[in-house]
Structure 1
Amino acid sequence: MSFHSASVAIVHLALLGIGVWLIVIDARTHRLPNRIVLPTLGALVLLVLIEAIATGAADRMLRSLLGALALGAFYAVMHLASKQGMGGGDVKLAAVIGLVLAWHGWQTLVLGAAAAFLLGALYALVLMLLRRADRSTRIAFGPWMIIGAALAIALTRYTGLW
C-alpha cells in the first residue's frame, strides 16, 4: 500500500467517525454544530491542497473545490427558498460532502447528492405510512446526506459497481 493510499484510507476512516458523530447529533437535536463542520471543511481543504502539491493532481483539487462550491450553493438556494426546509448546518455540511464526493469524481458527487434526497424521502414516507409524521414534521436531513455520501463512495470507489 502506497503512502497516498494509506493517507486516503485514514482520511476516510476519520470522516466516517465524524459522520457518525454528526448523524447522532443531528438526529437528536436537528443541529449540525459549526464547531465540528467548519473545522472539518477547513482540514479537508488543506488536505486537498497538500495532496495537489504532493501529487501534482491539480485537476482533482480544482474538482474538489468546485464540488464543495456547487453542492454548498445548491443547498444555500434551498435554504433561502424555504424557511422550514434546509438549515444553515445542512448548507455547510453540503460543502464538506461536495468537496469529498467531487474528490472521487463528478459521478460520485451526483450519486451522493441524489442518494441523500432519495433516502430522506423514503424515510419520510415510511414515517408517514406509520402515522409517526405528517407533512409538517421536521426531519433531520444531515444523516441522509452523510449516509448518501458514504454509499456513493462505496459504490464508486470500493465496489466497482458504478
Structure 2
Amino acid sequence: MTVVVIVLAAGYGVGVGLLLPRAVWRLGVEAGEGWRERCPEGHVLPGWLGAARCRVPSGQAPPHTYGRRALPLAALTGTVCAALGAAVGPRPEAVVYVGLAPVLVLLALVDRAVHRLPDVLTLPLAAAAAAGLGAAALLPGAAGDWRRALFGGLLLATGYLALFLVNPAGMGFGDVKLALSLGVALGWYGWGVWAAGAFLGFLYGALYGLFLLLRGSATRGQGFAFGPFMAAGAFTGVLLAGFGA
C-alpha cells in the first residue's frame, strides 16, 4: 500500500510541478508591485498555471521561454511529494502533506527570487493545513493530534513574531505567516517533531549564511531569503516523524 501512495504522490508532484513555472514568474515581484501580467516580451499571460513559455503564430518564431524551466521544477516537486508519501504512508494526513507540498515549494522559490512570501499563498496555506489535518483527525488511522497541531502553529508563529519585533531587518513578516502553517504541520506529530523542525530551519539558514561568509559573497548583517530554510526544516521534521509514527 505504501508503494501505491509513493507512486501516486510522485505523479501528483510531477503533474503540479509542470504547472508552477508561470506562477513563480507572476508572483516573483517586489513588495508593492502588482503581479506580473506579461512575459518579458510583452505577451499577456493566460492564467496562473502552466509552463513559462509564450506561444507565437506558427512559422514566425519558436516559443519564447522565460523564468523557471518546467522539467526541473516538476522533478523537485515530484521528489518532495514522493518523500512525504513514503514517510507518512497510507495515513489520512498523507493527503494533506502531499497535497500542500507544491504550494510550499512555490513559496520557497518566490522567496528565494525576491525575498517575499505573498499573503495570497501563506494565509490560504495555513488555513488549508489546519482544515485538512482537522478532517484527517476524524478518520481512522490518523497518527497525529489536531489540537496540538493548531497550538503548534500559533506557538511557532508567535515565536517568529517576537523575532520580527525584536529585529525587523532580520526577519520578514512573511516568515511569521509561513511559520503558522509550518507549525501546524509539525505540531501534528508531537512537540519533539515541532521542536526539531523549527530548530532545523534555523540550523539550515545559519549554515547557509556561514557558507556565504566563508565564500566571501556576503557580509555580516546581509539578509537572505529565510523561507526556503524554514520549509526545509519543516520538511525534514515531517519526514522523521512520518517514518517513526
- TM norm. shorter chain > 0.5: yes
Deviation at 1:18, TM superposition (A): 1.3
Tell me the distance in 1 between the aligned counterparts of 2:116 and 2:232. 16
Tell me the distance in 2 between the aligned counterparts of 1:13 and 1:68. 18
- Give, as a single letter, the amino acid of the residue that structure 2 aligns with 1:113: A
Q: Deviations over 1:9-66 (max 9, x none)?
A: 23222222112111110000100110011111111222233234445x8x81110111
Match of 1:63 in 2: 148
Runs of 4+ in 1 over 6 A off after TM superposition: none
Match of 2:201 in 1: 116
Match of 1:152 in 2: 237
1:138 to 223, 232, 239: 223
2:93–2:136 CA contact under 8 A, matched in 1: no
Match of 1:99 in 2: 184
Match of 1:21 in 2: 106
2:201–2:231 CA contact under 8 A, matched in 1: yes
Match of 1:128 in 2: 213
How many residue pairs end up in the alignment?
A: 159
Aligned sequence identity (%)? 38
Which structure has greater helix proportion?
1
2:174 to 83, 89, 99: 89
SS of the equivalent of 1:157 reads helix
Higher mean alpha-carbon deviation, 4-13 vs 65-74, is at 4-13
Q: In the superposition, relative to structure 1, how do residues 157 and 49 fare at CA in structure 2: closer, same or farther (>3 Å)? A: closer
2:175–2:226 CA contact under 8 A, matched in 1: yes
Tell me the distance in 1 between the aligned counterparts of 2:229 and 2:237. 12
Higher mean alpha-carbon deviation, 74-83 vs 37-46, is at 37-46
Q: Deviations over 1:100-128 (max 9, x none)?
A: 00012111110000001111000000000
Backbone CA RMSD of aligned residues: 2.4
Q: Which has the larger radius of gyration?
A: 2
Q: Deviations over 1:73-98 (max 9, x none)?
A: 00000011112011111001101000
- Give, as a single letter, the amino acid of the residue that structure 2 aligns with 1:88: F
**Is residue 36 from structure 1 mapped to residue 116 from structure 2 by the alignment?**
no
How high is the TM-score relative to the length of structure 1? Answer: 0.88
Deviation at 1:156, TM superposition (A): 2.4
Structure 2 residue ranges without an equivalent (≥5): 3-88
